[in-house]
A and B are shown apart, each in its own frame.
Chain A
Amino acid sequence: MTERMTATIIDKLWDAHAITTREDGQTLLFIDRHLLHEGSFHAFDQLKARGTKIARPDLTFGVADHYVPTRPASSVGNPDAAEMIRQLERNARDYDVLSFGQFDPRQGIVHVAMPEQGLTLPGLSLVCGDSHTSTHGAFGAYAFGIGASEVAHVLMTQTLWQKRPKRMRISVEGRLPSGTAAKDIALTIIATIGADGARGHAIEYAGRAIRALSMEGRMTLCNLSIEAGGRLGLVAPDETTFAFLRGRPFAPKGDVFDRAVEDWRRLATDADAAFDRDVVLDAAAIAPTVTWGTTPEQAAPITATIPDPSRIDDQNKAQAIRAALDYMDLRPGQPLDGIRIDRVFIGSCTNSRIEDMRAAASILAGRRAIVPGLVSPGSASVKRQAEEEGLHTIFRDAGLEWVDAGCSMCVGMNGDTVPSGERCASTTNRNFKGRQGQGSRTHLMSPGMVAAAAVTGRLTDVRGLARE
């Protein structure tokens, strides 16, 4: 291993987990946390075929999220989804893994529930068979999504062979204007660098606007790293991080916690450490942002109009815009503000934490939604807290459905889908064709913006509805 005089946080984390490096440059990384969900069954099938055990069940944790019904009644009509949840429970039991089942008070979306339990810590290497695992980078963890074969590899060895990524720093300087949120930073970044702009890179988010974000905001931002093509995005841990972690059920306690914090303080990029790419954004220039197309890079401020492909020189790009507008049933030059919607969804690993619930509720309080919609808190714990704060009453009074925690309408695997042809204002992470259901049309935006869309039945600038 090369000793660096100065290093980025990305290199520090990498070096701390490197077991050995081959001549060809591949490094065997130790994995501190492995998170499982129902989709992990492919890897368990591989394990069974080999007849082996799990190397480190004490570092492996599961939770049911992708197939969990969000309404008690909906599980009855969906035996396949119920079987997926039982399958995870069987595998967890057979392999001695602690897994939070459908009715466990700790259940929730893996990227919401695990941080909440204190299972995500700074300095950890963390993997999960889900691309939004980058979420956990919010804590200064080296966290990335992996495929089923890699899940099987980690189950069997608690390690992974990886190539050192290139390093990208995205600095967001200045102060975020009111009415904007972490989601707007992320969508602005993706629109700026493209859906593959961070391909092959690990991202460090830095700058004053990032430091000012809560843990919830940092999780939203890191969550969307993969939508910019980055497998991993992180924020160096600081007092905000330590305060969030103190007292969490699985977090270290007492002296061990204090000792850990000492270690964690060293997880910062050295002053003159070099990145392969530096991107700088001005927070003050960020506006409430929505997507209009079928990739998260097709995003623009709510005050903008839809681009006209006939004015774009790059023929492939113009063709992609035409295809997206055709699918989305939108016109070139059409203002984003005012586009009619059919439905809203507030939830997903991107935006379903307590702060997101509060942001949406603050707009919906005392108002009525004129379109139907679902509000799915990210975990049973977020649900309990929101209900203690009375937020569920605000959502219900507004005419929205307040349901249980799960991946729900972000990916539709539990049966919560957007009907074909309908347009949904959604706090989720992917506006891909058919993502929320066959023929569904998705506009991604912040929770406040979705609440504003619910009230007006159109894509709307939340700043016109905000109360100070």
Chain B
Amino acid sequence: MRPFSSLTAPACPLPIVNIDTDQLIPARFLRYPRSEGYSDFLFRDLRFDTDGKKHDFPLNEPAYAKAEVIVARRNFGSGSSREGAVYALVDYGIRAVIAPSFGDIFASNAIKNGLLPAQITEEAAEQLLAAGDMVAGRPVTVDLESQTITVGNLVLPFAIDPVWKKQLLNGWDDIDLTLGQSQLIEAFCTQDRQARPWVVPNAS
């Protein structure tokens, strides 16, 4: 996984609540293999109409063409477990999403792919969204170690689970860590087979 430490890049404001995973990537694109890239699918139906014509949507504006950060309102990434929502953001070039809250599964998927879900207060989100208008396209700095967002003279703290922070900073992958626990897993299974013999199914 690509580590995340600090980033200075343009941020795109999306002053919308409940941006769900169906908005992030409509279901019809989920059958494509990741190797083909998911960038074109991001916010597809918010960015384009059925004929492929561009909608009036912030990410379509030239000022935000190089955005690597998204600032949104509460409950970003709510809805389905589709990791495609994170693939679409990451493949488009987004490295951090700043919002007052995130869908639980979305946030977990984000960490696995090196995308930072930076949680700020509702007030801070409003400050940032307003600042975004003032400094359209000018860079925002997101620093994970100090957990701060800097835009112009405005410095705002953000929250992140300490475990996730460590994972992102180091670019750690869970699987190798887990495989190191195989003896404990085996011991659990041996004991559990006695305790709960009904767990392993047998069809009749």
Residues of A within 8 A of B (CB): 19-20, 24-26, 28, 30, 32, 38-39, 41-42, 45, 50, 58-59, 67, 80-81, 84, 118-119, 121, 123-124, 129-131, 133, 145-150, 152-153, 156-159, 161, 163, 195-196, 199-200, 226, 229, 231, 249-253, 256-257, 259-260, 263, 294-295, 297, 316-317, 319-320, 323, 411-413, 420, 430, 432-435, 438-439
Check if A196 sits within 8 Å of B178, measured CB to CB: no
Residue from B80, B83, B162 in contact with A24 in the complex, judged by beta carbons closer than 8 Å: B162
A435: B residues at CB distance < 8 A: 22, 27
A84 to chain B, nearest CB (A): 5
Residues from 88 to 103 in B contacting A, C-beta threshold 8 Å: 101, 103
Contacts A157-B185, A200-B104, A252-B198 given; indicate if A149 touches B45 (C-beta within 8 A): no
B25 to chain A, nearest CB (A): 11
Residue from B17, B28, B103, B161 in contact with A316 in the complex, judged by beta carbons closer than 8 Å: B17
Q: Within the assembled complex, what's the spacing in Å between the Cα atoms of A285 and B199?
A: 40
Other 12 A-B pairs with CB < 8 A, given A149-B83, A159-B178, A161-B177: A20-B184, A26-B163, A45-B33, A130-B81, A131-B105, A145-B105, A147-B82, A153-B175, A196-B75, A256-B198, A316-B17, A412-B27
Residues of B within 8 A of A (CB): 15-18, 20, 22-23, 26-28, 30-31, 33-35, 45, 50, 73-75, 78-84, 86, 101, 103-105, 108-109, 112-113, 161-163, 166, 174-175, 177-179, 181, 184-185, 188-189, 192, 196-204
> What residue of chain A has the Cβ atom nearest to residue B74's Cβ?
A196
Q: Within the assembled complex, what's the spacing in Å between the Cα atoms of A58 and B203?
A: 11
Check if A121 sits within 8 Å of B175, measured CB to CB: no
> What are 27 residue pairs bridging A and B, where the CB atoms are less than 8 Å apart in the complex?
A28-B181, A28-B185, A30-B188, A32-B199, A39-B30, A58-B201, A145-B81, A146-B105, A149-B83, A153-B178, A156-B175, A159-B178, A159-B185, A196-B18, A196-B75, A200-B104, A252-B198, A256-B198, A263-B196, A263-B198, A295-B20, A295-B78, A320-B17, A412-B27, A413-B28, A430-B79, A430-B80
Check if B50 sits within 8 Å of A229, measured CB to CB: no
Residue from B16, B35, B101, B203 in contact with A199 in the complex, judged by beta carbons closer than 8 Å: B101
Q: Within the assembled complex, what's the spacing in Å between the Cα atoms of A123 and B195?
A: 12
Check if A161 sits within 8 Å of B174, measured CB to CB: yes
Q: Which 6 A-B pairs have the closest CB atoms?
A: A147-B109, A149-B112, A260-B198, A148-B83, A147-B83, A252-B198
Check if A231 sits within 8 Å of B78, measured CB to CB: no
Q: Within the assembled complex, what's the spacing in Å between the Cα atoms of A7 and B162?
A: 26
B17: A residues at CB distance < 8 A: 316-317, 320
Check if A147 sits within 8 Å of B86, measured CB to CB: yes
Q: Within the assembled complex, what's the spacing in Å between the Cα atoms of A158 and B175?
A: 11
Contacts A229-B103, A257-B198, A434-B45 given; indicate if A150 touches B163 (C-beta within 8 A): no
Q: Within the assembled complex, what's the spacing in Å between the Cα atoms of A42 and B85?
A: 13
Contacts A30-B192, A316-B73 given; indicate if A19 touches B184 (C-beta within 8 A): yes
B27: A residues at CB distance < 8 A: 411-413, 435
Contacts A121-B198, A131-B105, A159-B178 given; indicate if A67 touches B31 (C-beta within 8 A): yes
> What residue of chain B has the Cβ atom nearest to residue A125's Cβ?
B199
Check if B34 sits within 8 Å of A42, measured CB to CB: yes
B23: A residues at CB distance < 8 A: 432-434
B133 to chain A, nearest CB (A): 15
Check if B18 sits within 8 Å of A19, measured CB to CB: no
Q: Within the assembled complex, what's the spacing in Å between the Cα atoms of A131 and B104?
A: 10
A256: B residues at CB distance < 8 A: 197-198
Residue from A131, A157, A259 in contact with B80 in the complex, judged by beta carbons closer than 8 Å: A131
B178: A residues at CB distance < 8 A: 28, 153, 156-157, 159, 161
Q: Within the assembled complex, what's the spacing in Å between the Cα atoms of A309 and B180?
A: 55
A159: B residues at CB distance < 8 A: 178, 181, 185
Q: Within the assembled complex, what's the spacing in Å between the Cα atoms of A439 and B45?
A: 9
B30: A residues at CB distance < 8 A: 39, 413
B154 to chain A, nearest CB (A): 20
> What residue of chain A has the Cβ atom nearest to residue B201's Cβ?
A250
A257: B residues at CB distance < 8 A: 198
Check if A147 sits within 8 Å of B33, measured CB to CB: no
Q: Within the assembled complex, what's the spacing in Å between the Cα atoms of A333 and B16?
A: 23
B203: A residues at CB distance < 8 A: 249-250
Check if B184 sits within 8 Å of A195, measured CB to CB: no
Q: Within the assembled complex, what's the spacing in Å between the Cα atoms of A18 and B101?
A: 28
A39: B residues at CB distance < 8 A: 30, 82
Check if B189 sits within 8 Å of A30, measured CB to CB: yes
A433 to chain B, nearest CB (A): 6
A145: B residues at CB distance < 8 A: 81, 105
B116 to chain A, nearest CB (A): 16
Contacts A28-B184, A153-B175, A413-B30 given; indicate if A231 touches B105 (C-beta within 8 A): yes
A413: B residues at CB distance < 8 A: 27-28, 30-31
Q: Within the assembled complex, what's the spacing in Å between the Cα atoms of A161 and B181?
A: 12
Q: Within the assembled complex, what's the spacing in Å between the Cα atoms of A378 and B72?
A: 36
Contacts A67-B31, A153-B175, A259-B197 given; indicate if A42 touches B83 (C-beta within 8 A): yes
Residue from B22, B31, B179, B201 in contact with A118 in the complex, judged by beta carbons closer than 8 Å: B201
> Of residues B28, B35, B109, B184, which shows the largest number of chain A Cβ atoms within 10 Å of its Cβ?
B28
Q: Within the assembled complex, what's the spacing in Å between the Cα atoms of A39 and B175?
A: 21
A129: B residues at CB distance < 8 A: 81
A127 to chain B, nearest CB (A): 10
Q: Within the assembled complex, what's the spacing in Å between the Cα atoms of A158 and B178?
A: 10
Q: Within the assembled complex, what's the spacing in Å between the Cα atoms of A320 and B18?
A: 9
A439: B residues at CB distance < 8 A: 50
Check if B83 sits within 8 Å of A432, measured CB to CB: no
> What residue of chain B has the Cβ atom nearest to residue A196's Cβ?
B75
A149: B residues at CB distance < 8 A: 83, 109, 112-113
